[in-house]
Structure 1
Amino acid sequence: MEVAANSVIGKQRISNEDYVGYFKNQQGALIAILADGVGGSNGGEIAASTAVDFIGQAFQNHHISSIIDTKAWLSQTISDVNNKIVEMGIEDESLSKMATTVVVALFFGNQYLLTHLGDSRCYLLRSSQLKQLTVDHSYINFLIEKGEVKDGENIDSNLQNVIVKGLGVSSDADVDISNIQFRPGDQLLLCSDGLTKMVSDEIISKILNMRLSGRQKVDRLIDTANDNGGKDNISAILIDDLG
């Protein structure tokens, strides 16, 4: 299994509020975490780094005994880091509006657990076909689901980055956790909206299907997002089974 990750500021932001990381526990199991922070001053950066480091460091000390136990551990850990981010905002007024998306993939054996909050995404490339595994927890999607707007309509740009679920958004951080088989040749991509708003699914699929190393694919994805405007921070983690 090959892992490649990168996070860049993009072309229009003055700071990088994305944060990525991957960690292994003593059993050699892997967890990959990507977060996209929001909230004035340096709050977004703090929320994102807190999320990734908290979950990653907890995983390094976690022993996987069963799927059920690890699902419960992951759910509790996300709840714990949500509480931590909320408390940090209460204690420091300058951080009161900070929050972050998070997307997590936890690998053990030939399977993985997947969960997320917010509009950072996970894609699976299998047999050359790209599939989005996550549903954006965005205000726009919320309006679409309620039937108040139609997909594809022009929507106020101020609403483009509003998330309805995330770490630090509320005291409730319940998550759905999927258990998925990881097959030979599969590629799993975790990415922030700075990538997906600049690069179409068609181009993402094309790049992942290229005969390149994982790092080269990540760099190509990020370069493409920057070439298309780089309006936000751009981050990606690619896990390749290598077949």
Structure 2
Amino acid sequence: MSGLTPRGCEIHTERMALGLRSAIGSDVGRRRTANEDSGAAGDRLLVVADGMGGHAHGELASTLTVAAMLELDERLPQDLTQVDLLGELASAVDEASERLAEHARKEPDTQGMGTTVVALVFDGARLALAHVGDSRIYLCRGGELRQLTRDHTMVQQLVDEGQITPEEALVHPRRSVLMRALSTEHPVEADLEFLEPQPGDRYLLCSDGVTAVLPDKAIEDLMAAPTGPEVVVEQLITLANQGGGPDNITCIVADVVDAGEAQAQGVRVVGAASELA
């Protein structure tokens, strides 16, 4: 009878209800005069966008993209269990791309602007992930850091093809050249996947103002420390600036907790999106 369920008995396996506790921050850095990054963090949406294009166009691109993601969050129902979250995220990325193209049609001087985007949407049990560009999402679980996204860059492609090593990629003169980004030119396909969070997990979403300066080991040490998300965000920004702050710095740190430990934090918007709203 081993492995059989007695007649009349039912076995229910339910996932533990989980919540997020997050912090977000953005800084212009040491060498830039304006912040082209945008970010937003809510109770179920986390998003970072790193704009490019100069002359305030990068600021506009990241702002339009974060706005599209916030509108996605607003229109989604409270109960997400029956929602095609990956489909909804893909639609939001398409909408952001169309907004960039439409703005460029109306304002030709903004032609060529673009932005990266990384986003997570939480349904209480799973995280839906969307990624375009070289902004990143990391997971710290059990004190070990793992990069969940793969950069859409020329050097990453060279690494994948075995033409250069990961170490050579770190100092390659074209390491910032993107192969995929939201732009005014054409729609782009986002990488999409579901993540299975566990209590105690810690996620990091960040622009390359963090990762171009700080090695993974330094990020891991901060993420694994027994400090709150607010402290980790502050430390990441401080260390990136101490390392020269060559670019805008935006990051979100989110802890996965039991639903009973999570508290409503509301939506917090940083960077260009907060300044141009």
Tell whether the structures are fold-level matches, with TM greater than 0.5. yes
1:39 matched to 2:58? no
SS of the residue aligned with 1:202? helix
- Taking the aligned partners of 2:63 and 2:187, their CA distance within structure 1 comes to 20
SS of the residue aligned with 1:52? helix
1:8 matched to 2:22? no
1:161 matched to 2:176? yes
The aligned runs of 1:115-134 (5 Å cut-off) are: 115-134=130-149
Over 2 Å off, 4+ runs: 64-68, 142-157
TM-score normalised by length of structure 1: 0.91
Instruction: Compare 142-151 and 108-117 and name the one that shifted more.
Output: 142-151
SS of the residue aligned with 1:241? strand
The Cα offsets for residues 59-96 of structure 1, whole Å up to 9 and x where unpaired, read as 11112544662221111111111111122123212211
Instruction: Compare 33-42 and 175-184 and name the one that shifted more.
Output: 175-184
Q: Which residue identity does 1:43 align to in structure 2? A: H
Q: Which residue in 2 is equivalent to 1:73?
A: 88
The aligned runs of 1:140-159 (5 Å cut-off) are: 140-153=155-168, 157=173, 159=174
Q: Which residue in 2 is equivalent to 1:17?
A: 36
Q: Which residue identity does 1:132 align to in structure 2? A: Q
Q: Which protein has greater RCO, CA pairs closer than 8 Å, 6+ apart? A: 2
2:72 to 58, 63, 71: 58
- Taking the aligned partners of 1:120 and 1:5, their CA distance within structure 2 comes to 15
- Taking the aligned partners of 1:67 and 1:172, their CA distance within structure 2 comes to 27
Q: Which residue in 2 is equivalent to 1:107?
A: 122
Q: Where do 5+ consecutive residues of structure 1 fail to align?
A: 25-29
- 1:120/1:193 contact within 8 Å kept: yes
1:94 to 89, 93, 109: 109
- Taking the aligned partners of 1:86 and 1:148, their CA distance within structure 2 comes to 34
SS of the residue aligned with 1:198? coil
Deviation at 1:170, TM superposition (A): 4.0
- Taking the aligned partners of 1:241 and 1:122, their CA distance within structure 2 comes to 15
When residues 67 and 164 of structure 1 are mapped into structure 2, their CA distance, relative to the original with a 3 A threshold, is: farther
- 1:104/1:115 contact within 8 Å kept: yes
Q: CA RMSD in A?
A: 1.8
- 1:41/1:94 contact within 8 Å kept: no
Q: Which residue identity does 1:18 align to in structure 2? A: D
Instruction: Compare 60-69 and 207-216 and name the one that shifted more.
Output: 60-69
Deviation at 1:169, TM superposition (A): 6.0
The Cα offsets for residues 146-190 of structure 1, whole Å up to 9 and x where unpaired, read as 444443337663x23221111116423222311111101000100
SS of the residue aligned with 1:80? helix
When residues 75 and 5 of structure 1 are mapped into structure 2, their CA distance, relative to the original with a 3 A threshold, is: same
Q: Which residue identity does 1:96 align to in structure 2? A: Q
**Aligned residues between the structures:** 237
The aligned runs of 1:188-203 (5 Å cut-off) are: 188-203=203-218
1:213 to 208, 211, 228: 228
Q: Which residue in 1 is equivalent to 2:9?
A: none
- Taking the aligned partners of 1:69 and 1:237, their CA distance within structure 2 comes to 24
Q: Which residue identity does 1:180 align to in structure 2? A: L
Q: Which residue identity does 1:105 align to in structure 2? A: L
TM-score normalised by length of structure 2: 0.80
Deviation at 1:242, TM superposition (A): 4.1
SS of the residue aligned with 2:167? coil
- Taking the aligned partners of 2:129 and 2:212, their CA distance within structure 1 comes to 22
When residues 150 and 130 of structure 1 are mapped into structure 2, their CA distance, relative to the original with a 3 A threshold, is: closer
- 2:23/2:41 contact within 8 Å kept: no
Q: Where do 5+ consecutive residues of structure 2 fail to align?
A: 1-19, 259-277
Larger Rg: 2
**Identity of aligned pairs, percent?**
30
